[in-house]
């Protein structure tokens, strides 16, 4: 009897036959991300034929400040207001490099240094990067290559994994199924991860959604997510130490049974990168983000009113605090504004692992003297808010707490636009 359970390949690789099958590559032509004809009833994307339609569509898209006498080369729904798409600063952000290996090697001075670096970063712009994380470099490369393999598939194949409405899981092209304006110049593939299941949940997702050919790709992301979960818990220990939380293990235990989100971002080259964005200005609603990016660059953090580029460092993972952890720290650590810009020449890939609590866990800081800055809430509520009522942006947590206090029925949460 052949064993039914899946065997993990010795060396994961995403190069299954169909994953390599596609001849087309998004990298060559600076075409807009593949636009889906949004399923009815949500409005479909009207690509303007002439100038007046472009003007009308663009002003609807809130891009009225652009001088549309210069015909945009990109469809109007992809145009972003100047305020959000304003030029990047020439000054890169000095993102502290924290060696998290000190949590395992008994280096007490190193531990104090790491805690101080994290405290300084998280109390200001909310970003740091980690080395000594122990994540296999070959696995990171396989995960980035897997993103290239997936996104170069024909649209019909990617569509087999299309996002389930109201959830974050699945494939989307420019979120064209959700929004009518300020479309991000990207394609994404997102799926859930949690451990302790009877079978490998990420492998099940890939095989169940895309077919048996995608089992190797599923194993790459299964192992990658397992490594990200472990790294997340290590970082939680460091955050706890840096916050001086008396209850040792409070944050680590809070996320032991986490149910996280893995997101692969693919940003095609763009003919007018200054008029659109790969990912708009936002704070992550989640707790902690671990970002592995390729060498192209594009992540920017808002510091003192300037969009400061974060230079990719080979082998390092970029970490940022999300809204949920800002609430867990009662506002001491900041969930900060960031965005992703695109360029004319090279496609860019980034892998974002979003650590999220189990859905029903109540997000509440450890007992502290300070007055509470945020109400109790569950991740399920905040997640539902971002997927069904509100496009996560620069004010998500404030909008969410208002929505909670007024009750979902009354709150005038702005529609997802």
Ligand X SMILES: C=C1C[C@]23C[C@H]1CC[C@H]2[C@]1(C)CCC[C@@](C)(C(=O)O)[C@H]1[C@@H]3C(=O)O
Ligand Y SMILES: O=C(O)CCC(=O)C(=O)O
Q: How many secondary structure helices (H) and strands (E) does the chain include?
A: 11, 14
Q: Does 298 bind ligand Y (CB under 6 A)?
A: yes
Does residue 400 bind ligand X (CB under 6 A)?
Answer: no
Q: Toward ligand Y, which CB reaches closer, 219 or 307?
A: 307
Can you tell me the distance from the alpha carbon of 354 to that of 255, in angstroms, rounded to the nearest whole number?
12
Measured at CB, which residue is nearest to ligand X?
A: 282
- Out of 142, 168, 336, 399, point to the residue binding ligand X (CB under 6 A): 168
- Site map (CB under 6 A) of ligand Y, residues 249-268, x = contact: --------------x-x---
Q: Which residue, 183, 187, 172, 171, is CA-closest to 75?
A: 183
Provide the pairing of β-strand 187-193 with 260-267.
antiparallel
Catalytic residue among 259, 332, 348, 349: 348
Contact window for ligand X (CB under 6 A) among 2-10, 15-23, 99-107, 383-391: 383-391
Is residue 230 within 8 A of residue 136, CB to CB? The reply is no
Among 350, 386, 387, 396, indicate the residue that binds ligand Y (CB under 6 A): 350
**What is the DSSP-derived secondary structure letter of residue 385?**
I
> Of all helices (H) and strands (E), which one includes residue 279?
strand 279-282
**Whether 343 contacts 296, CB under 8 Å:** yes
Contact 202, 210 (CB under 8 A): no
Q: How many residues does the chain have?
A: 417
Which option in ligand Y, Fe ion, ligand X, none does residue 286 bind, with CB closer than 5 to 8 A by kind?
A: ligand X
When the beta carbons of 175 and 349 are compared against ligand X, the nearer one is 175
**Candidates 95-103, 194-202, 229-237, 290-298 — which segment interacts with ligand Y by CB under 6 A?**
290-298
Q: Identify what 35 binds: ligand X, ligand Y, Fe ion, none; CB under 5 to 8 Å per kind.
A: none
CA atoms of 34 and 38, how far apart (whole Å): 12
Q: In terms of CB distance, is 19 or 235 closer to Fe ion?
A: 235
- Count the neighbouring beta carbons within 10 Å of the beta carbon of residue 154: 13
Residue 338 engages ligand Y in binding (rule: CB under 6 A):
yes
Cβ within 8 Å of residue 94, ≥6 positions away: none
Rounded to an integer, what distance in angstroms lies between the CA atom of residue 259 and that of residue 382? 14
Point out which residues pair with 319 in neighbouring strands: 128, 290
Which residue lies nearer to ligand X by CB, 93 or 261?
Answer: 261
Q: Which of these segments, 61-69, 282-290, 293-301, 357-365, binds ligand X (CB under 6 A)?
A: 282-290
Kindly indicate which of the ranges 25-33, 163-171, 291-299, 357-365 contains the residues binding ligand Y, using the contact rule CB under 6 A.
Answer: 291-299
Site string for ligand Y, 53-72 (x = CB under 6 A): --------------------
| Closest listed residue to residue 294, CA positions, set 123, 183, 141 | 141
Q: Does the active-site annotation cover 70?
A: no
Q: Is 286 in the site for ligand X (CB under 6 A)?
A: yes
For residues 282 to 321, the per-residue mask of contacts with Fe ion, x marking binding by CB under 5 A and - elsewhere, is --x-------------------------------------
Catalytic residues: 348
């Amino acid at each position: 009897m052949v064993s039914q359970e899946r065997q993990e390949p010795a060396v994961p690789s995403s190069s299954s036959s169909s994953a390599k099958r596609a001849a087309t590559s998004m990298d060559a032509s600076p075409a807009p991300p593949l636009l889906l004809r949004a399923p009815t009833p949500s409005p479909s994307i009207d690509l303007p034929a002439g100038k007046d339609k472009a003007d009308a569509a663009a002003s609807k898209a809130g891009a009225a400040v652009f001088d549309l006498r210069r015909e945009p080369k990109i469809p109007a729904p992809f145009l972003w207001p100047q305020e959000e798409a304003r030029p990047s600063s020439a000054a890169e952000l000095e993102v502290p490099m924290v060696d998290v290996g000190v949590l395992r090697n008994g280096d007490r001075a190193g531990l104090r240094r790491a805690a101080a670096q994290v405290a300084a970063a998280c109390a200001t712009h909310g970003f740091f990067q980690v080395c000594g994380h122990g994540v296999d470099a070959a696995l990171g490369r396989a995960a980035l290559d897997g993103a290239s393999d997936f996104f170069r598939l024909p649209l019909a194949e990617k569509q087999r994994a299309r996002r389930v409405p109201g959830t974050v899981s699945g494939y989307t092209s420019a979120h064209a199924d959700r929004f009518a304006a300020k479309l991000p110049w990207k394609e994404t593939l997102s799926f859930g991860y949690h451990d302790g299941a009877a079978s490998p949940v990420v492998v099940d997702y890939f095989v169940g959604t895309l077919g048996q050919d995608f089992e190797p790709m599923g194993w790459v992301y299964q192992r990658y997510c397992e490594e990200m979960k472990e790294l997340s818990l290590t970082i939680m220990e460091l955050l706890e130490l840096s916050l001086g939380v008396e209850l040792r293990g409070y944050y680590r235990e809070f996320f032991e049974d986490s149910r996280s989100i893995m997101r692969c971002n693919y940003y095609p080259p763009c003919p007018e990168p200054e008029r659109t964005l790969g990912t708009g200005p936002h704070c992550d609603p989640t707790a902690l983000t671990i970002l592995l990016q390729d060498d192209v660059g594009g992540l920017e953090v808002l510091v003192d009113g300037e969009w400061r580029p974060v230079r990719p460092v080979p082998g390092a993972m970029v970490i940022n605090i999300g809204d949920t952890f800002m609430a867990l720290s009662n506002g001491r650590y900041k969930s900060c504004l960031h965005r992703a810009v695109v360029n004319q020449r090279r496609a860019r890939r980034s892998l974002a692992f979003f650590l999220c609590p189990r859905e029903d866990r109540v997000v509440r800081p450890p007992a502290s003297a300070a007055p509470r800055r945020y109400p109790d809430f569950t991740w399920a509520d905040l997640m539902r808010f971002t997927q069904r009522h509100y496009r996560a942006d620069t004010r998500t947590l404030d909008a969410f707490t208002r929505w909670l206090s007024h009750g979902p029925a009354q709150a005038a949460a702005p529609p997802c636009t």
